[in-house]
Structure 1
């Protein structure tokens, strides 16, 4: 086994030559002095004091020298690196002072100017949303109808063909007031407004009914014990499902843009017959089921989960039993009704993913969405 190379001459290691170390130091000092901004100085630091800088690479070569030669080479490289670091620190202070002085000039605020200390508020998006929906139907010649939040059991259930044994009457869905023998509830839908309208007006009837409703649901990202619905009712001679489809297609287009239409899926509701669930063309993928994720790569649409449709509400032809209960002649008149959640519709339009955001009273929501939709 050979011994240590005691005859190794450090002058033969190019990065450790005195003139090479001095040249690297002088180049670093020149670059530091030429840096005119903190960004330029940052790059200079990387180039001349970073791990891949000439002086750092020279420092690594010291370990290859015999013990007798390491001290001199180490002192030479260390002194050069110390000079560079001192120059960097000094230049950093100068540039930071210049930056702060420039900021004070460029971003000067006149604190003597008068200001409105009361920030401007904003209307809640649920309020503006309900009014926007109402305006769509008013433009079609419809009227807006309203009713009380605390409703008689007969109007909330019996008049709408929800019999005494219907599950929706139980405590799992309905808030009942005390005493129970008064038969008064917090309305579970805005359909009682439709019943009141048929009882007090003569056909033809075209009304839209937005408002708050209450059910004993859990409070989470998609449910709330208090939420908002909009329902529509049309009673006239010769009303059919075709009229209903055209109305909802127009409603969808006005809310979500051109090309958005609806489809019906057979369903069951006590107050309509036939009944249907209303689906909406996905307004993100426009029914294509896939979206462009960038670079031409197509991925499944997350909004509709690749189905191309989004559940929106329910609808149908008004059940003749409801017409009779509300004093409308089913032999002469027919009608359609529909209902959607205003909260869900606004979540679609604004991109909100958590229903609770609408009810937490955060002023940032009202200022962002409250002025207009």
Structure 2
């Protein structure tokens, strides 16, 4: 390994070890949300205080839409606080916390009257006040994390791909691997076609310290590997793919869907009334939420057609297919064509009692309870 490679490796290792890590939440620590907004995005960080320092618990960044980009700086900063509380609600609810913003006019937002706020501002402030009203000012140079999250579009990559390609062409070690080959089977091909085999090899590799492979730790058994991993011959080829594809196509063409069945040992999977197959009318069970004193069944409805699993009914002039588990037979009286009902020729008359006049001159009628 050359000194340059060793120096680059040590630099990468130092950068990874010093990267920002999320802290474990403590219920006794003080919480704070730091927000910031730009013309394109908003950002926020939830942090807890440990001694004199602040530890990050979670980050949040959101890109503004076309309408939100037209907001004033005051409204964008207020939107950042509103969205941050909505995002961190599960962590700040029922907790005392403060909000830091680099937009100083927001610190006086809760002291303004309702008439000086727009409906949107009043709605945002109403939601924020349900959690906290402690808005504090933080200078812009000190608002580093939230400011970076709200201006994520300004972060640009410094990789020069042309220089990288030129260095790869001039690298003697890489050219030697491409020319003579290695155990890694380094070839010029699409990485999307090679990635599954690389991942399979990593999952099946033997770990000396664990005395097992990652696949054994996850699945409890080893994976079946293709012959390319075990063959030492470069000319190793698999079976004719064309013949395999033709055999697979012929096998799939012979498959036919099987008819549906009841999937039960008995002929009837559930209780079916005996007279359901012969009754001309049926009652229909109402499966929706019923009100008080509402009957569970509606009908009777006339049966138009019978199928093994459903009946076709005439429900209020409409043809409806209903499963038989919602039906029960309706027993109606058969009309006798020879039976005649005599209609009364006249209404019976009820004798009225005679009116009587009292001594005060009022006319009254006394009921005759003992009328024969």
User: What's the TM-score, normalizing by structure 2?
Assistant: 0.20
Q: Which has the higher helix share?
A: 1
Bigger RCO of structures 1 and 2 (CA < 8 A, at least 6 apart) = 1
Please say which structure displays the higher CA radius of gyration. 2
